[in-house]
Amino acid sequence: MTRPDKRAVARSLAQKAWAENRPLEWFEELYQQAKQNGASIPWGDLVPNPNLVALYAKCQNIPLGRRALKIGCGLGDDAEWMADQGFDTTAFDIAPTAIERCRERFPHSTVHYFEADLFSSPDEWNGSFDWALESYTLQVLPPAMRHEAIQRISAYVRPGGYLLLIARGRSEDDPEGTMPWPLLRSELNAFADYGLRPVIFEDVLDQQESPTRRFRICYRKT
Ligand SMILES: C[S@@+](CC[C@H](N)C(=O)[O-])C[C@H]1O[C@@H](n2cnc3c(N)ncnc32)[C@H](O)[C@@H]1O
């Protein structure tokens, strides 16, 4: 099965879930379906995201050995990479089957994997991470949910800590597109409302798949 086919399955599950006003349920449905029929997950590359590796290399001020958080961890490759860099890493995903697969794939992992929803995650996580990684979750949330997501993502980072964000990007005059929606720099400016200011902002053409515009951002919390 090719990548466009895998995206089509995800989009059709998503469209049904949105129409039925249960916008977050399709993630688990997709992981379940993949588990049953052996299909792969559209974003499941089974290697750490090269954009993460490239961006992290430029964020020299993140103190090693501290607490890191992966938001929407999917199949776990980025979280494992973060742990391999020496961080005490927590990772969560809303889909129980994704978390089950992380635990199966990495049975000796030091990562603390949790099934949790960004919109109702444990209060004690707030302000307790030296850095957090958000990659490709905001862009699969319907636009109306993104502002609250930004607020909640921001809350995880302690003052002085960092947020690394990787997402599809577009300009104001580009079409909105379809899920995964490219994000506007202006909507990401909402992170500033919660004390996160960009110290690195990259606008790159990712050649990994078909050429895809991405924003790679390192924010620091005041
Ligand atoms: C597009 S995937 C990206 C996964 C991973 N970050 C990667 O780059 O491979 C988005 C992930 O976020 C998870 N997710 C979506 N909404 C979430 C929420 N409200 N809370 C936690 N995880 C969520 C999905 O289940 C999915 O695994």
Ligand 1 in reach of 133 Cβ (< 6 A): no
What's the token pair of residue 90?
């927590």
Distance 74 CA to ligand 1 centre (A): 6
pLDDT at 117 (0 to 100)? 98
Radius of gyration of the chain (CA): 16
- Per residue in 25-59, pLDDT (tens digit) is 999 999 999 999 988 999 999 999 999 999 999 99
Whose alpha carbon is nearest atom 11 of ligand 1?
72
The predicted-structure confidence for 95-105, as pLDDT tens digits, reads as follows 999 999 999 99
Any ligand 1 atom below 6 A from CB of 121: no
Q: What pTM value is reported for the model?
A: 0.96
Mean pLDDT of all residues belonging to the chain: 95
Q: Which residue CA neighbors atom 27 of ligand 1 most closely?
A: 74
Q: Is the pLDDT of residue 3 over 50?
A: no
**What pLDDT, on a 0 to 100 scale, did the predictor assign at position 50?**
96
Looking from the CA of residue 140, the nearest atom of ligand 1 is 1
Nearest Cα residue to atom 12 of ligand 1: 72
Nearest-CA residue for ligand 1 atom 13 is 72
Which atom belonging to ligand 1 lies closest to the Cα atom of 141?
16
Ligand 1 proximity of 97 Cβ (cutoff 6 Å): no
Ligand 1 atom nearest the C-alpha of 49 is 8
Evaluate if residue 1 carries a pLDDT over 60.
no
Ligand 1 center to 69 CA (angstroms): 13
